[in-house]
Every structure is written in structure tokens, then in C-alpha cells.
Amino acid sequence: MGTSLRAKIMTGVIALLVLFAAALTITLYFVKDSGEEVRGIAEYHVPIMAKVNALDVYTYELELLAHDMSEQIRVMEPEKIRHHLARAKQLEEIITRLFTESIDLCEKGSNDSRNDIEDRLVMAKLLGSLKNLNQQTMGFVQTAMQTIDLGSKGKPVEARASLLKMEEYSVLDQIFEKTRQAANRLILDSASETAGNIFTIIWTNIAIFTLAGFLGLIVFLVITGRLQTAFHRLTVAFRKTADGELTDPLPITSQDEIGDLTDSFNHMVEQLKSKEKLREAFGQFLDPRIVANVVDPSTGELKEVAERRRVTIFFSDIANFSTIGEQLTAASLVKLLNRYFTVSTQAVRRHHGIVDKFIGDAVMAFWASPFSEGESHARDGCFACLDLLESFVKVRGEIPDLTGLRRNAPRFHVRMALATGDTVIGTVGSDTTKSFTVIGDTVNTASRLEGVNKIYGTSVLLNEECYRLAESHIEAREIDLVTVLGKAEPVRIYELLGRVGSLDGATQRLANLYADSLQLYREQQWEEATKAFQECLRIRPDDGPSLEFLTRIPALKKNAPPENWDGVWQTSTK
């Protein structure tokens, strides 16, 4: 592995600290040299000049500390922060003391008779300048101390705002300069040399801090630029991955932690791609929603799920499939079945259903919670059947292309049934092979009702419980009360006609007239029932249920049922 990010950042920080140390060392050296020069001058003039120069240096140093604490606080070590705070407080005390001593010296000098009149006047003027400078500098010091204090408390925004206020004291440089000029007239050549040292200190610090700032800027731009580019690339890739878009591998541009993170991300994406391919492959055999319910997410192991719920079961079957199979080649037959299974699966899944299995040309599916919310499973099943009726119309138009038969194409008609009732739902199978399915009497009822469509010439039949649950969402008509094979109790069956409010006038009249006809039939009013069913045929000549009853009534008239007959019709359809 290459140099770590931490090492790269620390290298830049150490370089800056070395430059700051050099600046401080040079500053202290020239201050010390200036102090030695000043100490050799007269009792008043040189000390005053030395204190004025020291005030200039210390206020400048305080300003530098304020800049440092507001701009470099994020990368500054705690030890250095404590050092800056201590130094700032020390500078505040020194500045206060120097002003006091300077003013005292000027007062003594202006009143000292040993000085000539001209020097005493200059000292008196210098006293006024020092007092004015003292007032201005104390405001500057308070602002600088506030900036340093905010920076030490981790408030960089407030610290920078306070730092801007320090610009209001830019006039201090002019006042200091005038004060130095006045003091220069008192110390002559020694003062000039001292002033030279002060300017050397200033320009040396400017040069070093300029170099430090330039180096810091370069380090900042290089490191943050690389970090920003790398993290932006990773962020975009992570967002795409979270949205399901698996990206191509990202380039690894460094051998540090960012490179390791990029490599890990690429490895994760490859694993996700592999799992996605596996999920897509197995999704053709097993509905992903079932996997989510039967696999324990914490362990990845198969849960043994078995419980009794109210479920809606669906069965569909292609009418006269055996005859169709005799007309088609194997390839054409498979194409037709695949198209039929595809539209069936799409409609079932679109309305929250689960396709359980394909049995020859039959489709078995079911609706249950949590796939359908609450008791909406019957409604979802009805909506899926209505969608299928529309889809099968389109499939009939595709028969010539699917089978290759331009003439005498087989008639494509699908019978469907829905039955709602209590059913056992869960994982069933051996130790090595399992399926998630439904078991129970309701399954048998749905299967039988699909076959009952043959008797009445209908496309979709519902049992009574399914109709009652979906009644507020659909239009349907009661067809009959029948017993199906394998079930002793009669089943009231309904034909699904459409979504609620979708019936045209003719279909609505047919439904109402058929209900009246069915009631006359159950009351054994054969003549009236016959006439009523015939009226139904005038509305729809091919109405299967009406035709069935008109076929049934003559036999019932000949062999009248008992008076307590409940109208139940025994079917033998498998």
C-alpha cells in the first residue's frame, strides 16, 4: 500500500509548522538584537523607542495568532491551540504593560529638566500620540482576543467574522508609524538601525508566511481536489447502485485509503451483479416476493411457514386445448402457451397475485396477505381476471403469427374462476424440494368452478365469498346454485362482468332480467321463467346461462322437483 492520506496530510502540516517555527525564531532573534541596540541608548529615548517597536511587533504577532486561530484551527493540534491561547493572553498583558511604561517614560521625560526644551516638547507630543495609540490598540487587542477565543472553542465561522472587525483598526499602522517617526528624532542613528531591524522582522515574516500560505494552499488544493473527485465519483456510483443501476468498475487512481475504498466498492458491485443475475434466473422459477417471505433475512435459512388464512384462488384453462394441440406443431403450441402464460403472469402480478404453478395449459394463482393488503385479495383477483379478458382478445389477434396458420386458425378461449375461502398457505415439500403453495377445499372449489364455465358458457365465475368481498368494486350477476364434484355443500356462483359502473345499458338490462328469470325458475314457474330467459336471449342471443336454463326447464317440467326444492343443480364437471 502507498502513502496513507493521514501521512500526506501530516507532511503538509509539519511543513507549515516548520515555517511558522522559523518565522518565530527569526522574529525573536531580531527583537533580541533590537533590544540590545536600544539598551545602549539614553535613559528615555531608547526605552521609549524600544517599547514602541515592541508594541508594534506584539500587536502584529497577536494579529497573526488571530489569523492562525481562525483559519488553521481545523488542522491545528490541541497542544498548539493551548500554546496560542497562552501566548495571546501573555501578549495582552505585555501590550498593556508597555503602554503604561511608555506613557510613564514620556511623562517623566517631558517634565525632566535635564532634557532641553525642544526634546521636552517632542516628548510631550509623543505622550499624546502614545495615549491615542493606547486607546486604539486596546480596542484592537480586545477584538483579536475575541477572535482567538472563538477559534479555540471550535467556532470558525464566528472567528472569521470577528477577524473581519480587526480591519477597522488598519489605521493603527499609520499611528504607529507617526509615533516611530517622532521617536526617531530622539534616537538618531541608533533608532534608524533599530527601525531597520524592525522592518527586517516584518518583511521576513511576510515572506515566510507568504511561503507558508502558498505551500498550505497547494497542499490543500492537491489533497482536497483528489478527495473531492474520488468521493464525488464514489457518491454518484453509490447512488446509482442504491437505485438498482449497477455501474461499471471505477478506476483506482491511488494506493491510499481512497484506492482501497474504490476497490471494495468495485468488489461489492461485482457481487451484486452476480446476485442479481442469480435472482433474475431464479425469479423465473420462483416469485421474488415469496422468497422475501420464506427466507429468514438474519440467517438466510428457509422458514417453515404454514398457517390458515382467507385466500382467493385462481384457475384458468384453455378451452378445447387438446383439439388445438392436434392442429399445431410442437413449436407453435409452445409459442402459444408461452404467450398465454406470459399475459396471465403479468396480469396476476400486476394486481399483487402469486402465480403458483402451470399445470398443462392451466394456470393456478392465489391472492393473500401480505401480497394483497387486508381483505383486498378478492378485489385484486377480480381486477386481474378483467385485465386478462382484455389481454386474451389481443392474443386471439396474434394467433396467426404465433401458430403460422393464416387459415383455419384455432379458436382461442380461456375459462377462469375465482374462489375465496379459508386455506392452508405455506411451504410444502420434501427435505430437498419445497414449494410455497395453498392447500384446501377452496383450491378444489376454484378448480371445479373453472370447469363449470363449460356448462354456462361463461368466461369468469366467482364463488359467493369472493363476490361478497369484491362486491363494492365489481359488477357481477348471480348465475346459479350448484354442487361441484367432491363438495356436498352447494356453491352460489356469479359471473364477473366488469368493474363497478362500467356496464353498458344492454348488459345492465340483461343482468337485471336474468336475476328475475332465475327467481321465477327457483319458484318453479316454468312458463314465466322460459319467457323471461327468452327475453334475455333477445338482448344477447348467445347468453350461455340463459341457454342452459332453457335447455334444463323442459326436463324439470316433465319431472317436477319436490315442493321444497332449493334450486340446487348437481354438476359433474371435473
305-342 tens-digit pLDDT: 678 889 999 999 999 888 888 888 899 899 999 999 99
pLDDT bin (cut points 50, 70, 90) of residue 136 is confident
Q: Which of 86-95, 432-441, 494-503 has the lowest mean pLDDT?
A: 432-441
Q: Is the pLDDT of residue 200 over 70?
A: yes
The predicted structure's pLDDT at residue 482: 94
Give the pLDDT of residue 289: 57
Bigger pLDDT: 459 vs 223:
459
Helix (H) or strand (E) holding 522: helix 505-522
Q: Residue 281 — pLDDT band, cuts 50, 70, 90?
A: very low
Which residue did the predictor score with more confidence, 7 or 396? 396
Distance CA(381)–CA(563), nearest Å, equals 38
H or E segment to which residue 425 belongs: strand 414-429
pLDDT at 148: 79
- DSSP letter at 166 equals G
Dump pLDDT digits (tens) for 335-361.
Answer: 999 999 999 999 999 999 999 999 999
CA nearest to 442, candidates 470, 464, 468, 457: 464
Mean pLDDT of 410-425: 93
What integer pLDDT is reported at residue 285 of this predicted model? 46
User: Range with the lowest mean pLDDT among 295-299, 347-351, 471-475, 559-563?
Assistant: 295-299
Residue 411 has pLDDT above 90, yes or no: no
The predicted structure's pLDDT at residue 255: 66
Gap between the Cα atoms of 376 and 262, Å rounded: 47
Mean per-residue pLDDT, 184-211: 67
Res 536 pLDDT > 90? yes
**Phi and psi torsions of 357, nearest 5°:** -165, 165
pLDDT of residue 340: 93
Mean pLDDT is lowest, of 193-197, 216-220, 281-285, 380-384, for 281-285
- Mean pLDDT over 88-103 rounds to 85
Residue 122 predicted with pLDDT over 50? yes
- Round to the nearest angstrom and report the end-to-end CA distance of the chain: 73
190: pLDDT confidence band, cut at 50, 70 and 90?
very low
Whole-number Å distance between alpha carbons of 315 and 484: 15
Enclosing H/E stretch for 264? helix 257-283
Which pLDDT does position 116 carry in this prediction? 74
CA dihedral 93, 94, 100, 105 (to 10 degrees): 170
pTM: 0.54
What confidence tens digit (pLDDT) does each residue in 497-519 have?
999 999 999 999 999 999 999 99
- The DSSP secondary structure of 55-106, one letter per residue, reads HHHHHHHHHHHHHHHHHSGGG--HHHHHHHHHHHHHHHHHHHHHHHHHHHHH
Average pLDDT value over all residues in the chain: 80
What is the mean pLDDT of the segment spanning 528-546? Answer: 96
Q: What percent of the chain has pLDDT over 90?
A: 32
Can you give the pLDDT at residue 38? Answer: 44
**HSE on the CB side for 540, CA within 13 Å?**
17
Q: Are 95 and 59 in contact (CB under 8 A)?
A: yes
Contact (Cβ atoms closer than 8 angstroms) between residue 484 and residue 452:
yes
Contact 110, 122 (CB under 8 A): no
| Percentage with pLDDT > 70 across the chain | 78
Q: How far is Cα 189 from Cα 178, in angstroms, rounded to an integer?
A: 18
- Residue 501 identity (one-letter amino acid): G
